A = this chain, B = another copy of it.
Amino acid sequence: MYFSSMISVVILGAGNVAHHLYKAFSASKAVKVKQWYNRHLKTIETFKNEVAITDNLSELTKADIYIIAVSDDAITDLSKRLPFEDRLVVHTSGSATAYDLDKKNRRGVFYPLQTFSKAADIDFSQVPICLESLRKTDYALLKSVATAITTITKRVNSDQRAALHLAAVFVNNFTNQLYRVAHEITEAEGAEFDLLKPLIIETANKVQDLSPFKAQTGPAKRNDKKTIKKHLKLLKSEHHKDLYKLLTALIQDTHGR
Binding site for B on A (CB under 8 A): 72-73, 95, 113-115, 117, 119-120, 122, 126-128, 130, 152, 154, 156, 159-164, 166-183, 185-186, 188-193, 195-208, 210-213, 215-221, 224, 226-227, 230-231, 234-235, 239, 242-244, 246-247, 249-251, 253-254
Contact A179 B195, CB 8 Å, known A186-B164, A189-B159, A224-B72: no
Q: Is the CB of B250 within 8 A of A246?
A: no
Q: Is the CB of A192 within 8 A of B154?
A: yes
Q: Mind listing 27 A-B residue pairs with CB under 8 Å?
A: A95-B230, A114-B202, A115-B203, A115-B206, A120-B206, A122-B202, A127-B198, A163-B191, A163-B234, A164-B186, A167-B182, A167-B193, A173-B219, A173-B220, A173-B247, A174-B178, A174-B243, A175-B175, A175-B200, A175-B203, A176-B203, A176-B215, A176-B216, A182-B212, A183-B212, A201-B208, A204-B205
Q: Is the CB of B212 within 8 A of A180?
A: yes
Cα separation A252 to B218 with both chains bound (whole Å): 28
Residues on B with beta carbons closer than 8 Å to the beta carbon of A191: 156, 160-161, 163-164, 167
Cα separation A205 to B198 with both chains bound (whole Å): 10
Contact A179 B171, CB 8 Å, known A130-B195, A198-B128: yes
Q: Is the CB of B211 within 8 A of A183?
A: yes
Cα separation A161 to B230 with both chains bound (whole Å): 13
Cα separation A217 to B193 with both chains bound (whole Å): 20
Residues on B with beta carbons closer than 8 Å to the beta carbon of A166: 185, 231, 234-235
Cα separation A212 to B115 with both chains bound (whole Å): 14
Residues on B with beta carbons closer than 8 Å to the beta carbon of A95: 227, 230-231
Q: Which 4 A-B pairs have the closest CB atoms?
A: A173-B218, A204-B204, A167-B182, A163-B189
Cα separation A216 to B172 with both chains bound (whole Å): 9
Q: Is the CB of B250 within 8 A of A243?
A: yes
Task: Kindly report which residue of chain B lies nearest to residue A183, judged by CB atoms.
Answer: B212
Closest CB of chain B to A198's CB: distance in Å? 5
Q: Is the CB of B207 within 8 A of A204?
A: no
17 A-B pairs besides A95-B227, A164-B195, A167-B193 with CB distance below 8 A are A113-B195, A114-B198, A156-B191, A159-B189, A163-B185, A163-B188, A164-B196, A171-B200, A174-B247, A175-B179, A176-B207, A179-B207, A182-B212, A201-B208, A243-B246, A243-B250, A246-B246
